[in-house]
């Protein structure tokens, strides 16, 4: 009984430290308005869902990671070997436009999904790291809770990129669905990448859906201009 009580107290203390971390505004007032405390919470788990290999998913994940990093600390990106082969690894020169300096990025390759989740959990317990990104795994409720608890322990933030078709994660602070959206011009590459962003679930906040762009000049998210005011990029 005493051991259980001490364990509960430790969990509350860890959660309290994570709660003290100031949220990070996304830069988009419409999005921040539905988020608790007007920003992206740190010290917990965020889930981003989309098609494997979809550039929109990785673009939004990196943009989200850049905001959550809050210009401080190391980002750890963990992939399974198969994802490294099929999707490649984050492109160093392109990271800067999404708010991440490649000098602050550590890439880790795991053999199996279970190894990826273990690596994430261990890294999240290190307070000297800022954001831990795991790619291509949909954890069960127990594994997701372990990630959330580890993030609270280290006051570190977890971002998990999961494949489509997975149910909304009830443990995560936020759960997003991302898809590509028409860019602002027909020029290639587009000046500002655009995404359809759906906030499926948000603990303490409200769900919503927007067409958003990433502003690399100021490193923040913004609403895209209405389609009626700009040309639509033709798709093949």
Instruction: Output the CA–CA distances (angstroms, integers) from residue 86 to 52, 135, 193, 234, in the order listed.
Output: 9, 12, 22, 26
Least reliable range by pLDDT among 2-6, 61-65, 97-101, 123-127: 2-6
DSSP state of 191: S
What's the mean pLDDT in 202-206? 94
The separation between the first and the last C-alpha atoms of the chain, rounded to the nearest angstrom, is 64
Does 120 have pLDDT greater than 90?
Answer: yes
**CB contact set of 117 (below 8 Å; sequence gap of 6+):** 134, 137, 139, 143, 146, 147
Residue 18 pLDDT class (50, 70, 90 cuts): low
For residues 5 and 229, what is the distance between their CA atoms, to the nearest angstrom? 60
What's the mean pLDDT in 96-125? 91
| pLDDT averaged over every residue in the chain | 83
What's the mean pLDDT in 101-120? 92
Does 190 have pLDDT greater than 80?
Answer: no
What's the mean pLDDT in 82-95? 75
Return the number of other C-beta atoms located less than 10 Å from residue 85's C-beta: 9
Residue 235 pLDDT class (50, 70, 90 cuts): very low
In order of start, what are the domains of the chain with their CATH numbers? 44-226 (3.40.50.300)
């Amino acid at each position: 009984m005493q051991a259980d009580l001490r364990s509960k107290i430790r969990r509350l203390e860890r959660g309290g430290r994570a709660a003290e971390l100031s949220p990070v505004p996304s830069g988009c007032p419409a999005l921040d308005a539905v988020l608790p405390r007007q920003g992206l919470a740190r010290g917990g788990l965020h889930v981003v869902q989309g098609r494997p290999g979809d550039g929109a998913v990785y673009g939004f994940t990196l943009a989200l990671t850049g905001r959550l990093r809050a210009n401080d600390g190391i980002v750890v990106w963990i992939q399974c070997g198969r994802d490294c082969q099929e999707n490649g690894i984050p492109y160093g020169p392109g990271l800067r436009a999404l708010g991440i300096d490649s000098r602050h990025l550590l890439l880790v390759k795991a053999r199996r999904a279970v190894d990826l989740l273990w690596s994430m959990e261990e890294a999240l317990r290190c307070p000297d790291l800022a954001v831990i990104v795991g790619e291509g795994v949909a954890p069960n409720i127990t594994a997701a809770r372990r990630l959330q608890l580890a993030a609270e322990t280290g006051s570190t933030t977890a971002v998990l990129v999961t494949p489509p078709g997975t149910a909304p994660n009830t443990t995560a602070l936020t759960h997003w669905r991302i898809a590509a959206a028409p860019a602002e011009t027909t020029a290639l590459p587009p000046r500002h990448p655009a995404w359809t962003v759906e906030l499926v679930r948000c603990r303490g906040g409200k769900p919503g859906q927007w067409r958003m762009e990433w502003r690399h000049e100021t490193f923040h998210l913004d609403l895209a201009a209405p389609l009626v005011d700009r040309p639509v990029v033709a798709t093949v």
